Structure 1
Amino acid sequence: MRLGIIALAVFSLVSAARADDVSDAISEASKAYSAGDLSAAKQSLDLAGQLVAQKQADALAQLLPEPPSGWTAQPVDTSSGVAGFLGGGLIIKRAYERGEKTVELQLMANSPILGSMAPLFSNVQMLGGMGKVFRQKGRVAVLTNDGEIQLVAGKTFVTLTGSGADADKRAILDLVDLDAIEAFGK
C-alpha cells in the first residue's frame, strides 16, 4: 500500500513537470527551426495551432446552455473545430430536443467571415430585408424569412435553426450568456 502511494506521488510529479501538448509542439518547432528543418518547424507550428484551436473550441463549448425545462440536449459537437474552409475560426453546435421539435444552436467564433457580416448587423434596414429584426439582451438579432435566428456577439456569430417554433428558438436563445460569448473573442 505504501509503495503504491509513493509510486502515485512520483507519477504525479513527473506528470506535472511534463509540458502540455501545445508547449511540446512549440518546442519541437523551435528545435526544428534552429536545425534548419523548416518543413518540420511548420508542421509542428501547425499542430500547435490546431491544438490551441481545439482548446478554444472546448472552452467555447462550456458557454452553451443546458436545455430549458422539458427539453433534452445532445452533447456539444466540437468536431467542426477549426473552420478551415471558412479561413479559420471555430464552429461548435448543440442540438436541443423536445418530442419531435429540434433547435440547433451554433456558434461560429473568430472567423474572418464575421468581418463581412458585422456591418450587416449594424445596418438594421438591410437586416430587415432578411426578416423580422428584434433586440436580444441589447444586441440586434434577426428572425430570418427561413426561420433562423441570427445575431453577432463580439466576434461570434450565433445561429439557431431547426424544426422548433420561433418561440422555442427564442427560449433557448434567452438561456445563452451573450456577454460571456462576446468576451470569449477578446
Structure 2
Amino acid sequence: MKKLVGVAVVVILALALVVSAYADEVLEEIDYAREAYEDGSYSEAIESLNFVIAQIRSLQVDELRKALPEPLSGWTMEEQESDAMGYGLFGLGSGAGVTRRYYEEDTGATIEITIGAQSIMLQQITMFLKNPALAAAQPNTKLEKKRIKGIAGRTTIIEEFSSEDESGKLSLTPDDKTLVIIEGWSISDKEILYEYLDGIDFDLVSQILE
C-alpha cells in the first residue's frame, strides 16, 4: 500500500511540474513579447503573442473537452481533432472548438458533438432561430424549445430528423458566441440526440468560453 501511495505522489508531482512548466513558458513568452515591443521589434512581438494565444487556446480546448458527456451505456467514444488554432471547426472563425464522436456497436449508430466559439456559422444559425419560417421551409426541420441545465430560461433548438434516412441534428446557441451541434447517423429515434445534449456541462462551457 505504501508503495502505491508513493507512486501516486510521484505521478501527481510530475503532472504538477508539467503544468507549471507550461504556464512558465507562456509567461516567459509574454515577457519576451513585451521586451520585443519596447525594442521596436514589432514582428517578433506579434509572433510571440500569437504563440501565447495558441498555447492558451490549447489549454482552453483541454478544459472544454471536460464539458462533453461520457458515452451512454453500450456506447464508446472517440476524440476527434480539436481546434486550438482559432480557425473554427465550422469554418473560419476565431475561437476554440472540440468534437467527440460516440458509437453504439450493436446498432452502428453514431453521434457527434461539437462545441465551438466564434464560428462563422453562428450568424446563419441565429437567423434560423429568430425566424421560424426559415426553419419550417427546410425539410424535416422544426424549432423546439427546451429547458437545459446550465442555460438560463428556455433554449430554442433547431431540430432536424429524418426517420427514413435515420439521421438527425440539433443546433443551438447557449449564448451569443457559442455554437453546439449534435449530429447522429443510423439512429432510429431522435431522443438519443437529446440524451447526449442533456449530458453536456453547459455551466463549464460558459466558464471556459466566457
Same fold (TM over 0.5): yes
**2:95 is the alignment partner of 1:89:** yes
Which residue of 2 is the match for residue 79 of structure 1?
A: 82
The 3 A distance-change label for structure 1 pair 114 and 24 is: farther
- Match of residue 170 from structure 1: 194
Deviation at 1:65, TM superposition (A): 0.9
The alpha-carbon deviation at position 109 of structure 1 amounts to 1.4
Contact 2:78 2:101 in 1 (8 A): yes
Which one of 149, 152, 163 corresponds to residue 173 of structure 2?
152
8 Å CA contact 1:89, 1:112 repeated in 2: no
> What corresponds to 2:155 in structure 1?
139
* Alpha carbons 2:86, 2:93 under 8 Å: kept: yes
Task: Provide Cα deviations, 1:86-118, integer angstroms capped at 9, x if missing partner.
Answer: 131122100111011110000111335525543
For 2:61, give the aligned amino acid. Answer: A
Distance 2:203 2:134 in 1: 25
1:172 partner letter:
Y
Q: Secondary structure at the match of 1:89?
A: coil
Could you list the runs of 5+ residues in structure 2 that have no partner in the other structure? 1-12, 149-153, 162-166
Mark the CA change 1:169 to 1:40 in structure 2 (over 3 Å): closer, same or farther: same
Q: Deviation of residue 182 (structure 1)?
A: 3.7
**Secondary structure of 1:94's match?**
strand
Which amino acid in the other structure matches residue 99 of structure 2?
Answer: K
Contact 2:117/2:209, CA 8 A, preserved across alignment: yes
Residue 28 of structure 1 is aligned with which of 14, 22, 32?
32
1:115–1:52 CA distance, 2 compared to 1 (3 A): farther
Q: Offset of 1:170 from its aligned partner?
A: 1.9
Residue type matched to 1:63 in 2?
A: A
Q: Deviations over 1:152-172 (max 9, x none)?
A: 111211111231422222221
How far 1:68 moved relative to its partner? Answer: 1.2
Quick one: distance in 1 between partners of 2:186 and 2:208?
28
Aligned mates of 1:98, 1:164 — CA distance in 2: 10
**Offset of residue 18 of structure 1:** 9.0
Give the root-mean-square deviation of aligned CA atoms.
2.8
Report the number of matched residues. 174
Task: Decide whether the 8 Å contact of 2:122 with 2:178 is kept in 1.
Answer: yes
2:36 equivalent to 1:53: no
**CA distance in 2 between partners of 1:152 and 1:108 (Å):** 10
Tell me, yes or no, if structure 1 residue 181 matches structure 2 residue 208: no
